[in-house]
Structure 1
Amino acid sequence: MTTEDDDRYRAPALDKGLDILELLAETDDGLSQAEIAKSLGRSPNEIYRMLERLVRRNYVRRTLEDRYEITLKLFELGHARPPMNRLVNQAKPVLRQFAIQAEQACHLVIHDRGNLVVVAQMDGPGYWNVSIRVGSRVGLVNTGSGHIFLAYHSPEEASLMLEEQGLIGAKALPKGLEQRLSTIRHLGYENMPSAQVVGVFNLSVPVFGPLGSVIAAFTCPYSQRIDKADAPNITEALAMMQAAGIELSKRAGAEVQ
C-alpha cells in the first residue's frame, strides 16, 4: 500500500487510541496524562477524552496515583473464544464429578462485558435439582458468584463492574458487603443464604487463570437432602467444592497448590 493509500484510509481517533495503547504496553509503572501527551507529541487536552474512553472500556486503568496502565483486556480478547471453549470443556468432567459426589447441581460463571453469565452447568444424580440454565445472567451483589468476582478484583476493577450494572456509590451496595468480601478473600470461598430461593445456600469458590486473576466462579446452589441420611452435608459439600476449584484452576493453567 502506498503512502497516498495510507493517508486516504487514515482514522485519526483510532490512531490516537492505538498510539496510547502501544505506549503504555512498553511502560512498566504507568504514565501520567501529561507524560503520555509529551511522549506522543500531543497536548494533554487532546488525549483526555481518548484516555477516558479507554478507561471506561477497560483497556486502560487509572491508578490511585492518577497514572494510567494498560490492562489485560487486549490479551483476553486475543485469546477469548478458544480458551473459553477449552475452559468449559475442561471444566465439565470436574463439574460432573462434584455433582455426583455432592449430590448437588453446580455451575460455572464468567464475567462477560459487564454481565455474569453461566457458561456450564451440571445436574445432580437425583430426579430433582436446584439449578440455573446455561446462558443465564446472575447478579453481582446478591449471589455467591458475584461476591467471588468482587472479592478477588481490585477496588478499581470492582467499581467498574458495579458501574456496568448501574450500582455505583455506597447507597447502592448492601450493608456489610465490603466486610463480607474481605472475609471471602480470607477464607477462599463464599457461603451465603440464597437471595432468591428459601432454604438454598450459595457455595462459591474462585477459579484462577494462568496470570493469577479470577477467571470464573464455581458455584453450587446447595440444599440439604432430607430423604437420604448419608447425603453430603453442607460442610462436606464445601470441602468438595474447594478441591474442585483447585482442580479447575489447574486445568485453566494457574499455579496453585
Structure 2
Amino acid sequence: MNKVGEVSNLKVPALGRGVALLEAVAREPGLGFTGIQERLGMPKSSTHHLISTMCELGLIKRRSLGGYGLGLRLFELAGIANESNDLQRDAMPILRDFAKRVQLTCHLGVLEQNEAVYLARVEGARDIIVKSHVGQRFPVNCSALGKSLIAWMPPELLDIVIASLAFEKRMPKTVMSAAGLRLQLADVRRRGWAIDDEEQAPNCRCIAAPIRDRDGMVIAAISAVGTLEQVEDKRFDALAAQVMAAANAISESVYCTSADITKPPKSRAAKSREKGR
C-alpha cells in the first residue's frame, strides 16, 4: 500500500495514507519530502500536511542527517504489542536456548498474505552475524521460513498464495515457477523441514520448521540461518532435527501439542468423527 489510489477504497482513506507514509519511511530511512510525495502519489500540500501531522503524533521524525525516519512512539507501541503476543513471549526462552546451542541466528516468523514476517530474532555466534531485523518480510517462495508456513496449507488456500507470488529472481537459485515451488513444498512435507540454499541472499543457508496449534494447523515457524561454512552439507540432518525439536517444544509450550509435523492437520470432518466415537 503506497499509492493514493490503493487507499481510496478504504473507509478512512486518510488513515491508509498515514500507513503508506510509515511503510515508505520504514523501507527507506532518510526519505525526503520529494521522495515521500512520489511514493505516495499525493499533491505537495497534502503531503506536507500529512508529514506535519505524523511528526506531531511522534509516528515519524526528522533525522539529523536529513529526511525522515520512524518516530519513538512507534517503538513504544511495538513494545506493548510484543508483550501482549503470547506466542512470541512464550517462544523466546526456547528460541534463545536454541540459538545458543546451534550458534546460528534464529528467527520466529508468521505468514502475512504471501510473505513471511519476522516476529523475533536471536543472534547465535557473535563472530558471524547475519543481517536481519524484526518486521522484515520475504516472499514465501525464496525463504525456508515461508516454505514451512505454507507447505501444509489446505490445497485451495495454497493455490491462492502461489497465484499471488511474483516469483522475482533474487538469486540464481531462487525458485521461479509455481511448479518448481510445489515440488519443493512436497519435499518439505515429506521431510518435515524446509531449506533456503542461497535463494534469498548470497552465502546464506537457512533451515526452518513449523509451529502448530492444538488443531495441528501451522501458525508460525522458526528458522536457523548462517553462512555456507556454518551450515555445511554434513550438518544438514543434525541441524534439521534440532530445528524441528525446537519448533515442537514451542508448540508444546504455547499450545500443549506435540503433533507429528510430517503429517497434515486433521480435517474438520475427521475431528467431528472422532468426537462422535
Q: How does 1:2-81 map to 2 (within 5 A)?
A: none
| Corresponding residue for residue 112 of structure 1 | 112
Relative contact order (alpha carbons < 8 A, sep ≥ 6): 1 or 2 greater? 1
* Contact 1:118–1:133, Cα closer than 8 Å, also in 2: yes
Flag the 1:139–1:222 CA change in 2: closer, same or farther, 3 A.
same
Compute the displacement of 1:172 (Å): 6.6
Q: How many residues align?
A: 169
* Contact 1:224–1:234, Cα closer than 8 Å, also in 2: no
Greater shift in the superposed pair: 232-241 or 177-186:
232-241
SS at match of 2:220: strand
| Corresponding residue for residue 247 of structure 2 | 245
Compute the displacement of 1:188 (Å): 0.4
| Corresponding residue for residue 98 of structure 2 | 98
* Contact 2:205–2:228, Cα closer than 8 Å, also in 1: no
| Corresponding residue for residue 196 of structure 1 | 200
Aligned-partner Cα distance in 1 for 2:225–2:235: 13
Compute the displacement of 1:216 (Å): 0.7
Given the alignment, which residue of 212, 222, 225 partners 1:221? 225
Aligned-partner Cα distance in 2 for 1:240–1:172: 29
Compute the displacement of 1:236 (Å): 2.9
| Corresponding residue for residue 43 of structure 1 | none
Task: Show CA shifts across 1:146-174 (max 9, x none).
Answer: 2112211011111222344457xxx9725
TM-score norm. by structure 1 comes to 0.58
Identity %: 22
Gapped runs of 5+ residues in structure 2?
1-80, 168-174, 260-277
Q: Tell me if 1:89 matches 2:89.
A: yes
Letter matched to residue 144 of structure 1: A
Compute the displacement of 1:143 (Å): 1.1
| Corresponding residue for residue 129 of structure 2 | 129
Aligned-partner Cα distance in 1 for 2:114–2:203: 29
* Contact 1:123–1:131, Cα closer than 8 Å, also in 2: no
Given the alignment, which residue of 166, 176, 180 partners 1:176? 180
SS at match of 1:119: strand
Compute the displacement of 1:190 (Å): 1.2
Letter matched to residue 182 of structure 2: E
Aligned-partner Cα distance in 2 for 1:100–1:235: 18
SS at match of 1:252: helix
Letter matched to residue 216 of structure 1: A
Gapped runs of 5+ residues in structure 1?
1-80, 227-231
Aligned-partner Cα distance in 1 for 2:98–2:139: 24
Flag the 1:115–1:200 CA change in 2: closer, same or farther, 3 A.
closer
